[in-house]
Structure 1
Amino acid sequence: MTEAAAVAPGRPVPGPTLADFEAARGRVDRVAQLTPMESSRYLSDLVGGPVHLKCESLQRTGSYKIRGAYNRLSQLSEEERARGVVAASAGNHAQGVAFAARELGIKATIFMPVGVALPKLQATRNYGAEVILRGHTVEEPLRAAADYAETTGAVLIPPFDHADVVAGQGTLGLEILDQVPDVETVIVPIGGGGLAAGVASALTQKLATMGRRIRVIGVQASGAAPYPESLRLGEPTPVVVEPTIADGIAVAKPGLLNFEIIREVVDEVVVVTDDDIARALLVLLERAKLVVEPAGAAAVAAILTGQVVGTGVTVAILSGGNIDPQVMERIISRGLVASDRYLKIRLMLPDRPGQLARIAELISEANANVVEVLHTRHGRNALMGQVGIELSVETRGPEHVQRVLERLREADYDPRIDF
């Protein structure tokens, strides 16, 4: 957990002013939907106070990104609009820019990585943008977009590091205050920092006019968490991005403007793992009946890991819902494993009839259900006369897992959990 410096009373916040945020809201409201604010009794019990979910996952284009994109594009001059716009993204920013460009009659070119999820690729094209696939990481499309802007004159639309983008994202903060006037804490996912900077700045400045303060907690994925180190060192500092399911917030370095704002008005930044995020996604599916992408579930992951407690009336932002069904299937499986509701066991058995049936009987006696079996005589640890089996078992939590394992051990088997 890393704490940021709280803004001093009367000290101006860097970046957009309250007037900028309110003006941006007048523009953004032309296209953005007023997304629902749902309460969660399950999360409220964990935090010790009311918890509300701001469902920006149900926003047009599937995420908050439409806010910043439309606010930026709507302020381009006629000459800039004639040159067109270009952006790079693996998903949500691409769709936001493509949608905003279509609404404003501007030609949009979007660079996306070759392996981008098919639903995101199709959605971006359906909004009328020309999509160019380039490279296999986000960095390669970003470089290609910058080169394209330089050679063609198209206006480059950054995903987070621009005052107009920050102001557009900050309209979400004003909306939260309208829906939950007594909000005391807001939890927001952080990638480059556009959303967190906008929401925190807009709320801080708005509430200052009422003589109130707000607590803002940012959340990063452990595989891409440059903000804790950057805040410690006092300047934007890059990190090596590791593979993470939260690709929507997988950014190596904070935006310059975003960092300055977040350093002033975000109270702390916490980090969650992919397993934490997978559990959060599963909780949102089961408890709230909401489909959310991994990055969009980061705020809830912070609650589930106990890093957000005693915060009064709390709003967790579900920042996006664009998830590939195939990816969702894998993440649900991971969430089940992380929640001890799906257990994979490896066992070595004597190679004689009836052994597999005996194992199934023991697991049944522990009230668990075998859903898959892999049986092989080949393996490095298999002795002559032995076979190896891998079992996938449905369980009901940590205590039930231990009961299944203990039942097998009582029968003189040596079960090994397969991660």
Structure 2
Amino acid sequence: MLLSFEDPAVKIAYLINRYPAVSHSFIRREIEAIEAEGAEVYRFSVRRADVENLPDKLDQAEFDKTAVILSMRIHFVLFDVARIIVVHPINSLAAIRIAFAKANWKPTTLVRRVAYFAEAANLALRMRADRIDHLHAHFGTNPAMVARIASRLSGVPFSFTVHGPDEFDLPEALDLRGKIADAVFCVAISDYGRSQLMRWSSLVDWSKIEVVRCGVDASFFVDRISTPFPDVPHLCAVARLSAQKGIPLLIEAAARLNREGKSFRLTLVGDGEMRKEVEALIDRYDLHDVVEIAGWSNSETVINHLLKSRAMVLPSFAEGLPVVIMEALALGRPVVVTAIAGTPELVDKSCGWLIPAGSIDALVEAMSAAIDASDEKISQMGKLGRERVADLHNARLNGQQLYRLFQNHCQRLG
């Protein structure tokens, strides 16, 4: 029997592939907002987080609160699988069908599907032991798959949040249609995301798809807009160093501006699989006095980098709706971003520069405009962006919205 949401002890399980993580601070903010409403949230991570490389103390604290599914020895995992099949054979049969639905029967695929079932079995037993009322997964990839199987094994209803772009690149292989059909509801982080989920689901399930935007917390709304700009104009990119984020294109644009005689600095806050290639580009164009790679940083350091900048630049090729755009605008800094996915729902010419993805000419033009804009214009654009984020992307308010979805669902089933 599910508890009433009037009871402060209602229990929600959160499942993420690897949590906490540098790029998942928005999930922490969401969990904190839901806990502030009176729910008890159990964190589950499929894999162990790389706690040694978590720069933010708040994320480090989350590590101690998170149970890792794949922390057990293989014989214990296999015991959980055998145990749940014996104790719940009907549910297990249904869950096995889900786990292997649409499998291409290649060895790697079969191993992956067996792993999903084993992970789900462990999670299902833990949820039963903890008397979990609802399971919510972040990302429509393997966490949603494990949640879907665990829900069938345990009887605990589930929902999941889709961010994109990964889910929209492989909607059929990921069986978005089936996941949405089995979930009690599904969350998109933008109207664009909702449209894509509608595209890949049955008409009868469209009413299940809700928009709950990601948000920033109060630390980004502290009044620091009066921070003076450096004499040399600064731009900042907060992103994984990857092709998807358009970072090599950003270095090309910086090289062109440098050749044109623009005086500016560009700080890359982040790290990633293309670091060596990015460093090689900096060497090739002799940009060591212009471009700095700061690496992953904690929240306060990211805030300081953004506050020193005239604009945050993110020339991504594929996105959902990057949280760093919200963070920059909340701090009163306009953005140079590509007009893709959900980004135009937040950014327009009043608070930033929207450019076509992949266009180096447009990127150079927008970066030049940000460098040359007066302090007054930058401040006015930032003010309008800050107001927009406060209205649409306040983590506490967004968490309350998601909590109400949990609440409404449990009241229907209670």
TM-score > 0.5, shorter chain as reference = no
Q: Please report the TM-score for the alignment, with normalisation by the length of structure 2.
A: 0.31
**Which structure shows the bigger proportion of residues in helix conformation?**
2
Query: Which of structures 1 and 2 has the bigger CA Rg?
Result: 1
